[in-house]
Structure 1
Amino acid sequence: GEWKFPAPSQHAWNKDKPYSEDKDGALILEHPFMVGAPKPPLLTLRAVYFTLGLFMLQYWGVVIAIKNNLEVFGLFFGILLDDNSKEGLIIAIFILIVLGYLTVYLLVMLSSMLKQLISNINMVDMPTSLVDSVETGEVELIGQARPGPKPAVKVFVDDDPEMSCSNLVCYEWVREDFSLGVNSQGRSSASFFQILLSRLNRFLASFSDWLFDRQQVHAKETARQRGGVPFLLHDGSGGILVEPSMFKRIRFRDPLQVWDVGDTRWTLYGVRLGDPLYIHGEVKKRSKKSLAKEDLSSAPPSSKLRVVGNEDPPEQKLILIQGTEHSILAYNFSMLETFYLPTFYLAVFFIMGIV
């Protein structure tokens, strides 16, 4: 994740009282209380280019050509169905499979876009709370990752001392082995149909990941590990304890580092001290055992609370995302441009095609 506005430096942190407000008493500049929630423009140049492209297709007669070709295809497919030969049946079944695959693929892509759009709208509409006045229950918080009761860790990826990264409070690394299915000459040992089947399986796996909201699997993944330590989320007004191990969903941004050694690749994601964070989580009271480990006699009320995300409320999905609203929604588009305008054009072209 990256900051769109200047982030508080460590000189502004209240290290003696980490749960209290910063030394200057100001909120982070990227907080919605300071700059407001990001809202996408109603229309962008993408919609203009899309509209001009459709008019040009109509001007060149592409719609009529597609309509005529569909009629020819329907005639050809009818001949195949009437054909009693084995070859005709195989071709007809193959065409049905391809058309079915393309239809499912387009529907999944459309559903994924709508799901992401609705998620972005909910992110913008949900009010952001200040840490110093937060209460128990479902909340949205935006702030900076800072040291907690335990120090940040140094991670050795796959227990290799040469692949390490320090100053992390939450991390995940993935190992991919590209030598699987490759012969001694470095070429794929799989046949064309095996490659096609593997790609179909990969598509179905990504569809199930989307459907059940699971962590997306890398193409040649052979190992994965996630970890972290409790840390503080600070928005300038105060700090609150975050337990990354109690979140079902953690979305990292760009990899911190990638190592390519031979046919193996290791990718490390992580949240470091000072990084921006967006949290849609649940605030709960800390246990007496946890509070006893720190001297919180003069600390603000937020020090007695913690943020978790392992139990979703009805119709909501709790998540921890590396970044803020402004960095996460930097390339967001409006509902009109993403859904209503394409639906209108699709209906118009469908009417023109059947008339």
Structure 2
Amino acid sequence: MSDSNTTTFTNPSIFILQGIPGLEAAHGWISIPFCVMYIVAILGNFTILYIVKREPSLHEPMYYFLCMLAVTDLVLSTSIVPKTLSIFWFNSREIDFGACFTQVYFINSFAAMESGIFVAMAFDRYVAICHPLRHSTILTNSIVAKICVAVVLRGFMIILPIPIMGSRWPYCKTNIIPHSYCKHFSVVSLACADIRPSSYYSVCVTFLVPSVDGFFIAVSYIQILRAIFRLPTKDARLKAFGTCGSHLCAISAFYIPDLFVSLMQRVGSNVPLPVLILMSNMYLLVPPMLHPIIYGVRTKQIRDRLLWIVTQKRA
């Protein structure tokens, strides 16, 4: 006779997201900063896209990469926030089996794309500072388009095995995911199979992508710093530093939360589950919110154009 308290699932049609286990009573309050950050991210990134599109002087490689970053941030934040808020506000915890792995794919692939965009932006700054007279001939529109396509294809292809492997495991334990979104490890850990191939591949991608990209960014900035310190005047050095400031701040906003979350997960046995889940959400919410603020404040062309739009509307 089967135990009435035990249910067997074999590739269930839906998963149940718990939100933040242990903090269910506070879901309404937690939703407030989540919603505010999402609104800021949406408005900020659409503003960046609008300004670059409307201002011909910004039709340069640096701003093309910035637009690509804005689109990536929009997709990344939209991949998790609407469903998370529906859990917090309406207790809508169900997510289709296919939709869950689609979410896994979008989150990871666009995170990988974002890392690649920062490499492209570092290369642009390297050419602009170390080879300023050749910038327009090296980074032509054709080359920029090829770089963008390469970044997108890498993000899509390198992550593709993760949802494919995960969706093929048999799921017979439970369909309850102790998370606010379909985080890869939280989902595949429910499988009744040897998930080591999927786990090993995921860990390799998680560490190799930022490590390789970080290496190329570091090499670019070492060359940039060498070129800056060779400039003859202090004003010239400060101006060169200023052109890189926004990019360095954006990189910090992306990689520091990533590093922090990774360290938290490595010592996860000593960290409460609600804290880990909140940190995982912040990693996907904070950079999309901060990037348009960073570029809006630190990039003179964008700041001036935004001020002009605001004053025109008031007039």
Please tell me the TM-score bracket, short chain as reference. Answer: under 0.3
Q: Which is strand-richer, 1 or 2?
A: 1
Q: Which is helix-richer, 1 or 2?
A: 2
Q: Which has the larger radius of gyration?
A: 1
TM-score by length of 2: 0.27
